[in-house]
Structure 1
Amino acid sequence: MHSTLLLEDAYQRTVRRAHDRLQTPSSMLGEPERNPDGHSDGVRASVLESWGRSLDRLRDPAGARVRVAYEADRLAEVRRRHPFHSIMPLLRSHLIEPAKDAGLLAALGDEQGRLLWVEGERTVRDRAEAMGFLPGTDWSEEVMGTSAPGLALQSKKAVQISRAEHFAPDVHSWSCSAVPVTHPLTGRVIGIIDVTGGDDAVSSIVLPLLASTAKAAGARLSQLYTPQRALCADTEAAGSELAVFGPSPALQAPDGTTVPLTRRHAEILLLLHRFPDGVSGSGLVDLLWPVGGSEVTVRAEINRLRRAIEGLGDLRIEARPYRLRGELSSDLERAREALSQGDVDTALGQYRGLVLPDSDAPGVREISAEFDALIRETLLQEGTWQQLWRYADLPGFRDDVEVLMTVLRLAPPEAVERHAAVVRLEALGC
């Protein structure tokens, strides 16, 4: 059924009448009579089937009660370990911010239907929390009956649920759309992304938004988890190491020899490492120069870089498209992997400042901005005051007012760092 039809008064009246019958002992939804369009009594077949499963588990709609699955401490740990945590900047730009701008809530849940993040305007979140739609709660079909998050996981398909189609009566003033997200390597469902709110939550543009976000999330996770790119924690593994944090890039060979890199050579290695399947000459032009540049210049730089890394382990650069061969890891990827495992201390140990801070290459600035947003958000949401202060002492971040205010809020009164944060905030005029 088209999303606009879900909201028509006639359809909603039909759904409400059918829902009222769910609460009567004679309600039988197991084998409904269906008309040619797949509906029974005018209600969508997928909704009726979900209602039937919900009745089997919960007996009646009044049995659908919000259940807290993760308390605050446990929720923070589950968030850190979930794959969504490592791609939050992407999820924020693709889904959370557009939903918030539209007055809707964006929710991210795990593979069991437990909500990990619910974001949107404060007034909308307050209303949603009143019905139990908040981080840490279980919105699986088994617990809450028919809803978009629960049905998307049960069916492994994109789902829209409007108003009275929800099994729980308390949710009848809301509508929602959800799609499952799958792991790029195993194909298993790792969670759901959902948009919840009023009628706009089932508008015709919401499912394409969710679908494109799920696709982008899968592509980004694929980059993080593909064996060719995944980093082994074993520091004895043979291979070269690329250092791109801070203003002095370098390449360390497996035998410990360190070769300083020019900014351009570091940019090329970083970009080729980011795209293991290779990049065309014209693609590198776009990634390396804000304006200008040419494939001739790219070829010349690649040839110089080949000479610079010659003899460093098995690392080499192939052409058509340009791509790296041999073992290469980087401080950036080690830090990213540490964050995905919830190990903030290790990530901060790798992080020495912005990625190639002197670079104006568009591809490099995008990589840097993505990681900077990831580590900053992780620290603000889940970091200790000591970790936040380490971040605030890094070049480029000393004037981050929000970070300093968070240190001020979390650090004990006697902490020297707290007093230092006060001094720095006063100097900033705060």
Structure 2
Amino acid sequence: MSDASLQAYSRRLRVAHESQAWPDGPRRLISASWRRSMEAGIDPETRSAPLVYDLSRMSDIRGAHPLRPLLPMLADTLRQVADETAHIMIVTDALGRILWRDGNHAMMCAADRVGLSDGFQWSELSVGTNGIGTALATRRPVHVYSEEHLVRVLHIWSCSGAPIIDPDTDAVLGCIDISGTSPTLHPATVALVGAAARLAETQLALRMHERDERLRRGYDQLRNRPGALITATGRVIAGDPGGILGARIPLPGTGDLVALPDGRAGLLEPFLEGFLLRPTGGELASLRLTLLGNDQPAGQYGDLRVQLSLRHAEILALLALNPPGLTAEQLSFHLYGDHGNPVTIRAEIHRLRAQLGGAIAAKPYRLTVPVEADFLELRRLLTAGSAADLARGYPGPLLPRSESPEIRRERDELEVQVRARLLMHGSPDDLWTYAQTSNGRTDFQILERVATAFPAADHRAAAARTRLSQ
């Protein structure tokens, strides 16, 4: 793009920012990202990305991340380019949290002012459209130029990001990004970071095949080869000649019961770096949690109706949000913050397991059965459902009486996203449905919309006017 064309595009972007006339402003990828960001409640006047990690723990956080072994290779590939061109290179996790950065010293000092630094989060839900967050949201390499950023303070920046996708699980592991001031970062940089991401994925694939081969060699040495051979990530790589199990099974954890495609239960037994899977013959019960807008949370485990205490509901919600599991220390921190005691958690888990039997495993604590939960379904509706489905699927906040720091964070995030989505796309009926929730009943903006959306004589408009006057 020539300088004149770039200047003309910048003018169009500035007009789009002022008028929010997205289809007539930026390119389609960026306008779609602006919509997602606005629906998430991002303020264009935000001054910095949020700090989400304790910087004193960054070394441990980096060491535990699956991209850690690839950092030297990524650094060798991009660091020199970033330094010589007065840019910085960044590696994040799957949620856009910066794990590591390097490059030009002066540029890193400037980046500190907007939180483009270790421990800060750059997802679209945190800071709007940007090379990291938009690459993670779209699962593709992205170049974001100057005013294409939704947040105004980032208009002096341009960035190129590419997601790194695990060839084993197809999950996004993180993002690699090069950032610099707007005039200095060429759009072709996106091809460079894309190539670096593909190189990282190639290395991950080679390591995956090496692990598979070690597993198969050990399996071939077994007598009678009992059970199917499953990798640590749930892929079926031997012992299922008819393909009954499919390519992958969901893994609740080591030595646990799992649901098989035909409805039977299977038992996972640890084997080398993976598992042996043996059918048990019985069916696997599922756990259903009803925790939204409910002062008396309840669970359904198979045919058993379970009335849950608030603390037990909080524990089950946290385990449902963290399928790989949590230690007693992690659960304690999520529930009580710095004042928690893991001994208390172990006692609560013991009582909860008395109600739910084998549905909860230990070391770490995790759910071992299929889980259905209204708040997990709400998460799905936020990404794939209509506004009407979202309004019907949201009876109120998640565990409204909970003071758990992690539950409160999840509750507030869901509330903000539901409200923003309905204000942006909801019909009058959808807004009225939301107005019946505990927060919606006193939401001034929602009630104003309802009061003017229906005829004056309509009972919904009258109710909204009454609430506004109180």
Give TM-score, length-normalised by structure 2.
0.47
The residue aligned with 1:336 is: 379
The residue aligned with 2:95 is: none
The residue aligned with 1:288 is: 335
Task: Give the drift of 1:338.
Answer: 1.7
The residue aligned with 2:158 is: 177
Letter in 1 for 2:451: L
CA 1:194/1:379 → structure 2, altered by over 3 Å: closer, same or farther? farther
Task: Give the drift of 1:358.
Answer: 1.3
Query: Do the aligned partners of 1:88 and 1:374 also contact (CA within 8 Å) in 2?
Result: yes
Task: Give the drift of 1:180.
Answer: 3.9
The residue aligned with 2:295 is: 247
Structure 1 CA distance, aligned partners of 2:178 and 2:145? 11
SS at match of 1:329: strand
1:353 to 369, 385, 396: 396
The residue aligned with 1:262 is: 309
Task: Give the drift of 1:380.
Answer: 1.1
Task: Give the drift of 1:61.
Answer: 9.1
CA 1:180/1:306 → structure 2, altered by over 3 Å: closer, same or farther? same
CA 1:319/1:360 → structure 2, altered by over 3 Å: closer, same or farther? same
Considering fraction of residues, name the structure with more strand.
2
CA 1:202/1:228 → structure 2, altered by over 3 Å: closer, same or farther? farther
CA 1:242/1:176 → structure 2, altered by over 3 Å: closer, same or farther? same
SS at match of 2:332: helix
Task: Give the drift of 1:175.
Answer: 4.5
Could you list the structure 1 runs, at least 4 aligned residues long, displaced by more than 6 angstroms after superposition: 60-69, 193-196, 199-203, 226-229
Aligned positions of 1:12-411 closer than 5 A: 70=23, 85=36, 89=40, 92=42, 97-98=46-47, 175-180=156-161, 182=163, 186=170, 239-245=286-292, 246-255=294-303, 257-290=304-337, 292-310=339-357, 316-411=359-454
Letter in 2 for 1:309: L
Letter in 1 for 2:387: V
Higher relative contact order (CA 8 A, sep 6+): 1
SS at match of 1:398: helix
Structure 2 CA distance, aligned partners of 1:83 and 1:187? 24
Task: Give the drift of 1:66.
Answer: 6.5
| Residues 1:415 and 2:465 are matched in the alignment | no
RMSD: 5.1
% identity of equivalent residues: 28
Task: Give the drift of 1:290.
Answer: 4.2
CA 1:324/1:63 → structure 2, altered by over 3 Å: closer, same or farther? closer
Task: Give the drift of 1:387.
Answer: 0.8
The residue aligned with 2:58 is: none
Structure 1 CA distance, aligned partners of 2:48 and 2:338? 33
Deviations 1:61-107 (A, max 9, x none): 989996999489xx9xx96xx89849964x838x8733699xxxxxx
Structure 2 CA distance, aligned partners of 1:270 and 1:365? 12
Task: Give the drift of 1:266.
Answer: 0.6
Structure 1: tracts of 5 or more residues without a match: 1-17, 24-57, 102-147, 167-173, 204-210, 212-225, 230-235
Judge which range, 371-380 or 350-359, deviates more. Answer: 350-359
Structure 2: tracts of 5 or more residues without a match: 14-20, 51-130, 149-154, 186-192, 194-248, 253-262, 264-283
Structure 2 CA distance, aligned partners of 1:260 and 1:423? 36
Judge which range, 414-423 or 354-363, deviates more. Answer: 414-423
Letter in 2 for 1:379: L
Task: Give the drift of 1:303.
Answer: 0.6
CA 1:413/1:275 → structure 2, altered by over 3 Å: closer, same or farther? same
SS at match of 1:320: coil
Letter in 1 for 2:310: R
Structure 2 CA distance, aligned partners of 1:350 and 1:161? 37
CA 1:292/1:403 → structure 2, altered by over 3 Å: closer, same or farther? same
Query: Do the aligned partners of 2:39 and 2:417 also contact (CA within 8 Å) in 1?
Result: yes
Judge which range, 344-353 or 174-183, deviates more. Answer: 174-183
CA 1:69/1:265 → structure 2, altered by over 3 Å: closer, same or farther? closer
Query: Do the aligned partners of 1:344 and 1:383 also contact (CA within 8 Å) in 2?
Result: yes
Task: Give the drift of 1:351.
Answer: 2.1
Give TM-score, length-normalised by structure 1.
0.51
Letter in 2 for 1:421: A
CA 1:194/1:65 → structure 2, altered by over 3 Å: closer, same or farther? farther
Query: Do the aligned partners of 2:145 and 2:182 also contact (CA within 8 Å) in 1?
Result: no
Letter in 1 for 2:363: R
Query: Do the aligned partners of 1:159 and 1:177 also contact (CA within 8 Å) in 2?
Result: yes
